[in-house]
Structure 1
């Protein structure tokens, strides 16, 4: 019986690609007096390229941007601070996020998030999406001193939720950090499709968050038939 659903954040619940594009477009507009010598499209595309879908922290990104584009009227530290303060105002959820969470809660599942990243920054994004109160446990790598795919991070979440691995699913967009890592500790690994990969060894694959409740219901039906 599946009693718990645990999720990655970026690329799974939060549409990070769309959020980043929205943020950087508006950052350019807000700070245009410092960027007027740079074509807007060029600034946006280079930021997105350097960001590498969140795998490069923004101190490195802004240092590189300042160097390449000769930005000297504002410091990279100030740009980084702007990112930290403003990104949360541009968070875009994937479709059917709230519908899915409501259904899971109505089915009495306990819910968790495990995400890599900076503690307060990621918590601010969770709050900005309006989903914090759905979750019984939120583990963020900086605050936990562990980073996915470390299995201890997954077992810690299970312990806090008071469920066993075989009673839990984990859903994320990364084949190694999310799917493989959760399967390693005995959870059902569900892949939220991402264009970067063609084939992922997952227990289930979904395109839309709205598919998850029916997958869990099917797993519970299968488990019932096994007895």
Structure 2
């Protein structure tokens, strides 16, 4: 992976490791190109905004020298960048922000297309918390959890942004049952109720974490 956002890289590395997908990240494109020349990699996740060298130039060099599939991961909104990247030979383009689950699925799809090995453990690995938006249900390890409407809205948001920090503002902005700062105090109460439903020890949560000064994070 070539990604200079170390926080994002850490989240993706941690998430993908659950599916036995091992990831090394390089912030410096020159170091990355040196490593790729010496080692075998199954796939490259490439950010376009990198220090010292534009991601499109990196993409061009990779396509010219190596037969390695490339997923572009970029916050650039210019459609021209996407077109150029795909014309250069990138295999996929994933605009930021995105759900790590989508990256995982795209990695597996591309590796299958390139006949790369994916362990059965990675294929069979299931997520602990699963949101079914159509049924309006959330399960933990396959077991249905009954939530109130407010609990469900918060937990749904956390499932969609699993592994990322969600601020109180994000909750107020995304959950229509909370429509003002006056409701902010009740968020902590509801999260405490959620923890009693999903945690083995609500006083020492392992999954629904408080990130001091920033918000909350759902991890597995």
TM-score normalised by length of structure 2: 0.31
Q: Looking at both structures, which has the greater relative contact order when contacts are Cα pairs under 8 Å and sequence separation is at least 6? A: 1
Q: Which has the higher helix share?
A: 1
